[in-house]
Structure 1
Amino acid sequence: MFLYQKNEYFVQIAHGMEELGEAELAELGATNLRRAYRGIAITADRATAYRICYRSRLCSRVLAPLLRASFTDEKDLHRIAVDLPWHQLFSKNRTFAVTFNVGNSVIRNGKYASLLIKDAICDRFRMETGSRPSVDTENPQVVINLFIDGPEAVLSADFSGEALHKRGYRSHGGGPAPMQETLAAAIIRHTGFDGTRPLWDPMCGSGTLVAEALMQAAEIPAGYLRSEFGFFSYSDFDAGAWKRVKAEADACIRPVVPGMILGSDLDARAVGFARKNLSRLPFAPVVQLRIADFRNMPDFRDGLIVANPPYGVRLGSDHEVRQLYTDFGDFLKLHCPGTTAWVYLGDRSRIGDLHLKPTRKIPLPSGDLDGRLLRLDMYEKLTQE
């Protein structure tokens, strides 16, 4: 029996999103949540694992552990892997690949360690069936993950397939430095947006924040546009449980009042990408998009603003960046009474350029960027100064 068949799973989630991720996982039915390196270990039945893959807006991958074991050297690791009944996990007609994360180990080369696992899988298949499955590193049907920390190795089956942040609405070549969907979803979750209070992104770019706002308010499952998940390819895939999970989630999809989600950007090309991306989602016409400079927009009252202003790697000179931030801070202060603004800064050194005092500063890294999500409350009295 594999470990996941005892309801053990591991959910990968970006650093900084653990608290939000724990809340979401509990909502989706996971129990016994334990934070670990690069994610959260959970207890979940098969339907809950499918539900997380389909509905989680914050998680990157769902791994189904197969084996956890200590090893002494490369031969020992190969032996441990050969002992697993891989032929019971997936068919030899499926393609597969091995991913890895190796640290503090006697095997220092992660790629070499993954090749040992690949060879072990093929060896066991030959022993049991007389032939072996093919390797496909570009688009494998089955992904096996190897995690090594010191003398311990964990082998897992990837239930996600492609990373879960790949919702399916984003166009290829969708503008410069688009925000990752899971980060955008975390920002929207922090706002508490539910479609009853207007939300505006005045620098929407290719529309990731407004797309995630629409998906959250309309309760569109994060995986709604995906046709494939990794768990489809395993021999114990429960088609009935998956059908029930999907039907249950899809039945919750609800319309959003037109005009409650707005996006604008001075870059016409970016707004074009935003329109194209949103067109793939249900209720896309309710989102109002405009080509406009926020400095020329009318007052925005009693709503929510979300923004990811351009920073060093996305814009020109330092002077241009500083002036943009100052102008945006002035706009919020003078033209957005009663509004709560949630502003994500990939470069936290730019916080002072807004000339506003945040109510909250939430660490929210993005790749190599030590970003901050700022909450800025614009009170009515500020417009009278």
Structure 2
Amino acid sequence: MNISKKSILQKGKGKTRKQAKLEYLYEKESLYFAQIAESVKDIAIKELKNLGAYDLKTVFRGIWFKAAKKDFYRITYFARLLSRILAPLVSFECHDKDDLYKAARKIRWEEFLTVKDTFSIVANVSESEITHSNFAGLRVKDAIADYFRDRTNKRPNVDAKDPYIIINIHIHKNLATLTIDASGGALHKRGYREESVSAPMQETVAAAIIHLSEWDGQLPLYDPMCGSGTLLCEALMKYCRIPAQIFRTGFGFERLPDFDANLWEKIKKDSRDNFRELKQGMISGSDVSEHSINAVKTNIMGLHFGSEIAIEQKDFQDIESIENSMIITNPPYGIRMGKDQNLNKFYHNLGLFFKNRCSKSTAFVYFGEPKYIKKVPLSPSWKRPLKIGGLDGKLVKYELY
């Protein structure tokens, strides 16, 4: 994720920030980094551009982009496909532990946290003279601790589970970039999932499926195997223009020294004013499992307009018909059903259900185990790999005439 061989470590020791007019890389160039799975990078580019990003540059598992501060806040708040967003502080040549330690010591860490706050380090090293990520993380930790100890005789503590701020160090081919996690944790953790089922679909996977389906509310959406309701929740949030992170209580960008609280409050207010209501019957779902039905009802309860989603307990084979609709679903597979289930027969029956009872509809089916695609007695319109969220699955589209 490094972008330049030029060090941007700032000078001006002993002066106030205002006097020295010091800026970090994200301030100086309005530059940020989005972590993203490779298989959805193409649609993530569209999402970023729609939210105001410009000058995008793709690298392995990420996208560098520029954005005005208000758009940077909006991207972090609304983006449904990204894993994390990082705000770069400095980039520098790093050939050994001393290079890393000295560079990290030069950051004005009191602008980001106090000795009473906690922090964690995420490190990634590749093709460099420093060969171990854990070692790199420890050197940055030592630099931060010594920085505060020299000035206050105290140091902030490390908290890997719930830190006040997350600091990221990435070293590739001896070029290091030190960043702040502006999202404040993984963005797939939306906060609406209070109840779960076995092997639940990750939220970013569901968001990618909804995006690729191009569902826009013109047709009813139905999930006949809804599990804990992740696809239904992501469809609702996208259609109703609800920010993906509406339930997140804190963001990493709030720790940045140039954080604008008034601008952030305005963005949140504007987003609430722009909600679009969901009409009753527009999104529906069912599942054979009572546990799943209880879970999805709990999860949609906290969402705006969640009461408009119709949910019932029913085996898909007991559904009389789903016509003139868009079907989006993630059927059970080995990890969810257990090896004792006859999955070949299950997928064959699913194909017959689509063929015989879902006329004039379109089905988007995510196969967590792609080997079962051939067991469905239908010809796909297209297939797309979706390697994201720990799964190596495929999304398949069926036109049901």
- What's the TM-score bracket when you normalise by the shorter of the two chains? over 0.9
Match of 2:172 in 1: 149
Render the CA deviation track for 1:160-217: whole Å, top value 9, x for unaligned. 1121111111025x11000000110110111122223100001100000011111111
Indicate the SS of the match to 2:307.
Answer: helix
Counterparts of 1:244-263 in structure 2 under 5 Å?
244-263=266-285
Match of 1:59 in 2: 82
Paired residue total: 378
Counterparts of 1:1-385 in structure 2 under 5 Å?
1-6=23-28, 7-172=30-195, 174-317=196-339, 320-379=342-401
More displaced 10-residue stretch of structure 1: 255-264 or 367-376: 367-376
Q: Is the 8 A contact 1:95 1:140 kept in 2?
A: yes
Deviation at 1:368, TM superposition (A): 4.4
Q: Is the 8 A contact 1:94 1:233 kept in 2?
A: no
2:97 partner letter: E
1:269 partner letter: H
Q: Is the 8 A contact 2:225 2:285 kept in 1?
A: yes
Deviation at 1:90, TM superposition (A): 3.3
Render the CA deviation track for 1:120-144: whole Å, top value 9, x for unaligned. 1122223444432222111101100
Render the CA deviation track for 1:358-380: whole Å, top value 9, x for unaligned. 1111111134432111111011x
For 2:112 and 2:25, the matched residues in 1 are separated by 12
Indicate the SS of the match to 2:391.
Answer: coil
Indicate the SS of the match to 2:334.
Answer: coil
Match of 1:383 in 2: none
Q: Is the 8 A contact 2:204 2:389 kept in 1?
A: no
Q: Is the 8 A contact 1:89 1:236 kept in 2?
A: no
Render the CA deviation track for 1:293-346: whole Å, top value 9, x for unaligned. 010101111110011111121113376111111111111011111111000011
For 1:72 and 1:14, the matched residues in 2 are separated by 29
Deviation at 1:352, TM superposition (A): 0.3
Q: Is the 8 A contact 1:326 1:355 kept in 2?
A: yes
For 1:236 and 1:134, the matched residues in 2 are separated by 24
Render the CA deviation track for 1:98-135: whole Å, top value 9, x for unaligned. 11122222222211210100111122223444432222
Render the CA deviation track for 1:253-272: whole Å, top value 9, x for unaligned. 11111011111110010110
Identity of aligned residues (%): 41
Deviation at 1:88, TM superposition (A): 2.7
More displaced 10-residue stretch of structure 1: 226-235 or 2-11: 226-235
For 2:117 and 2:27, the matched residues in 1 are separated by 21
Indicate the SS of the match to 1:92.
Answer: coil
Q: Is the 8 A contact 1:194 1:216 kept in 2?
A: no
Indicate the SS of the match to 1:101.
Answer: strand
The TM-score, its normalising length taken from structure 2, stands at 0.91
